Amino acid sequence: MTRVLCVGECMLELTHLDSTTARLGVAGDTYNTAVYLRRVAHLLHAETEVGYLTGLGTDEYSAGIRTRWMAEGVTDRSLPVQDRMPGLYTVRVDENGERRFAYWRSDSAARTLFAGTDWAEHITGDLIHLSGITVQIASPSARRALSARLRKLRREGALVSFDTNYRPAGWDSPRTAADVMDRFAALADIVFASWDDETALHDSPTPDAAAHRLAALGPREVIVKTGADGAHLLTGSQLHHTPAAVPARVLDTTAAGDAFAGAYLAARITGTAPAEALTTAHQVAAVVVAHPGAITPEHVPLLPAG
């Protein structure tokens, strides 16, 4: 069995259905990846345990999040934080399916936990997945503890996956974001990035240039996403481009990149070659953008039949 642990912040999600009505869900970038990784691994008959590590409170909303994890088959690896509640964000989607967010998370349980360092010692597994948001909400001392923990786990044979997922509002400056994320990309075996992020942080002229820049940091697999154009994969000296799958419709792009990462990792766990795993990732992302919210209903097929 492959033990996967995703690390970050899981929040309450309010998706606007109209001007006065919203639907309550549970989401967050690395949590979304955990859900799609678990679902796709199951579809591919991979024996996995997918856990999630974050801080949660002892309130009814935190209990509801834990219940949702259980329903999704995600193992609860959360750590309790007294007198704190989960973060909250809202999603509004325009006519093109592009979303905009508003957040209430500055005093959340996850941020409180990640201000300290003890939580890093609870990270265990065969594959560890984290993101730019994970390290964004961690304090400088927590980042050092996390770095040390990841180095130790890699020496013991674990793999590390890192999704840059740059959100400018959460950083002191683009320079700080670029420096911190490069440090964690250098600790990873697999790195996911978007060309938009690489352009914003490093002024990368092309997706290929972005892939080569990231690969020079040390990861053995680099995937640079280019939206509807697809993704560029660099493994060793081999650069491969795969066009995106065409969705039935584009209703909501929330979590498309998270689902892409989860599907790619699930395929790689089964031994699927990187280029083929990229095709699986595109197929799943195309399904996700055709449905509202971060997490599709369980009955929605993520992969073509057969």
Give the percent of the chain with pLDDT over 70: 99
**Is pLDDT of 136 > 90?**
yes
Q: What is the pLDDT of residues 25-60, one digit of tens each?
A: 999 999 999 999 999 999 999 999 999 999 999 999
- Is domain 2-288 annotated with CATH 3.40.50.2020? no
Measured CA distances, 138 to 54, 130, 238 (Å): 11, 12, 34
CB 108 within 8 A of CB 84: yes
Among the listed residues 163, 197, 252, 258, the single catalytic one is 258
* pTM of the predicted protein model: 0.95
Q: What is the pLDDT of residues 142-187, one digit of tens each?
A: 999 999 999 999 999 999 999 999 999 889 999 999 999 999 999 9
Each domain of the chain, given as residue ranges in start order, spans: 2-288
Closest CA to 142 of 176, 180, 116, 181: 116
Closest CA to 136 of 104, 99, 179: 179
**Is pLDDT of 261 > 90?**
yes
**pLDDT: which is higher, 259 or 101:** 259
Q: What is the pLDDT of residue 18?
A: 83
Closest CA to 133 of 7, 15, 288, 231: 7
Look up residue 105 and give its amino acid. Answer: R
Concerning whether 258 is annotated as a catalytic residue, the answer is yes
